[in-house]
Amino acid sequence: MPRIGFVADDLTGAADVLAQAHANGINAALVIGDAPLPEDVQVLGVAGPARSLGGQEFDALVRCDVAKIAGWSPEVLLYKVCSTFDSSPAVGSIGRGIELLHERFEGHGPVPVVPAQPAFGRYTAFGHHFASYKDQVYRLDLHPVMSKHPATPMDDSELSAILAQQLSSGNEPALIALPAHETGDFARQWKAARQNPGHEAFVVDACTEAHLDAAAEELLAEGTARQPAVVVGSGGIMAALTRNPGSATSTAGTTVIAHPQLPVLAVSASASSTTAQQIAEAASHGWVEIPLPAELLHGSDEALRQQLSAQVAQALRSGQHVVVHSTRGSADPRFAASAAVDPGHLGALIGDLAAQMAQAQLTRDIAVFGGDTSSHALIAMGVTQLRVAGQFVTAGPIVQSHGPSRVAGCNLLLKGGQVGPKDILQRFAQLTGH
């Protein structure tokens, strides 16, 4: 099959992309930081905390990551964004990401934007984006979670309008609307959109897997190792690219390791109401709940950090599953009364805590909750490469560190804020032998 590379703007989303390839039997790996790129995979990605960055920091990271994966010579390159389009002109700007893609791939033409992921309840219809929540589908700006996102609240659902605010040109991308799929005109409209002068991007409607397959077919036909076909999208387009009938599948390796003698540790920096419900559900089933002290959310009090580590270690030694969290939803006083938390600081804090417990042999099964902070957490754990160990919940696979790290041999569940069933932690514990 053609090589498919991806650049992800956060780590939990990158894990979802790995899972889509793995589910289709494709060997895939994710590289973090400056680790060398493996050659034994058909899908390869790099991930960093771009979603939580802005300005020069964002530009420098995206330029570096795109150059790195371009050096691997993929035929298709996915700039992976959240299926709920988390971004703003100042933070994690998808529009700015598109401009940086054009900077790297001069002459590529307008970039397709395909964030739909029907299997995950994400749909684009007539240019507007929708996402499910509790068995209901909402427009982005009316979504109970995304309209109140702590970092990038969505006040619009029209993707072209959102991107126009983020592109320096102010251009509104064109649209391939749903009827093109039904009239047999999709391929013609795609080619016309790709040749549209003066536009940086075009939005592609998709509400079914067949719609995504049509986009994947065009991408695979266009791309070459010298000039990859570039696309902006979610795990949905990766699933389509790797299930394409022309793709030869392989047996993806790695399996979940059972660690029944040691309890599970979850560390959460997510303010999502979905995550809050998952923490509450775990606590109601006997998990020890340890709130991060408010003082540590902004500072680095070493004595307080040692007290926290000792408290977590004691609970794990007693054989109890533990969940450590920075907040239980946006109503938590620690969240509501404090200034915005730096994702880098918070991610490093929870990542270092989890790594300490793994190195002390107190846990081998770790859940990390929070899309904006997950990349920072994995960097603190010393992880340089991830591979999927097993499918789990939608957009939440079990992964393992490949190569030396502070969490080598551990099962890792990486979960974004809006992902997963209410009992996800209990299911994770059962899956890993508890």
- Show pLDDT as tens, one digit a residue, over the chain (434 residues): 789 999 998 887 888 899 899 889 899 999 988 888 998 999 999 988 888 889 999 999 999 999 999 999 999 999 999 899 989 999 999 999 999 999 999 989 999 999 999 998 999 999 999 999 888 999 999 998 888 877 788 999 999 999 999 999 999 999 999 999 999 999 999 999 999 888 999 999 999 999 999 999 999 999 998 899 999 999 999 999 999 655 444 555 668 888 889 999 999 998 888 899 999 999 999 999 999 998 898 888 899 999 999 999 999 999 999 999 998 887 788 776 556 788 889 999 999 999 999 999 999 999 999 877 888 899 999 999 999 998 888 778 899 999 889 999 999 999 887 788 999 999 999 988 88
The residue length of the chain stands at 434
CA atoms within a 13 Å half-sphere pointing along the CA-CB vector of 353: 34
The SS3 assignment for 304 reads: helix
302: Cβ contacts below 8 Å, ≥ 6 apart: none
143 DSSP assignment = -
Residue 374: name the closest of 326, 408, 317, 329 by CA.
326
Residue 148: name the closest of 303, 309, 289, 276 by CA.
276
Its CATH architecture, for the domain 4-243, is 3-Layer(aba) Sandwich (3.40)
CATH 3.40.980.20 positions along the chain are 264-431
d(CA 173, CA 194): 11
222: Cβ contacts below 8 Å, ≥ 6 apart: 194, 229
d(CA 27, CA 8): 18
In the block, residue with structure tokens 């990859």: 228
Assigned CATH for 264-431? 3.40.980.20
- What pTM value is reported for the model? 0.87
CATH 3.40.50.10840 positions along the chain are 4-243
Radius of gyration of the chain (CA): 21
The SS3 assignment for 230 reads: strand
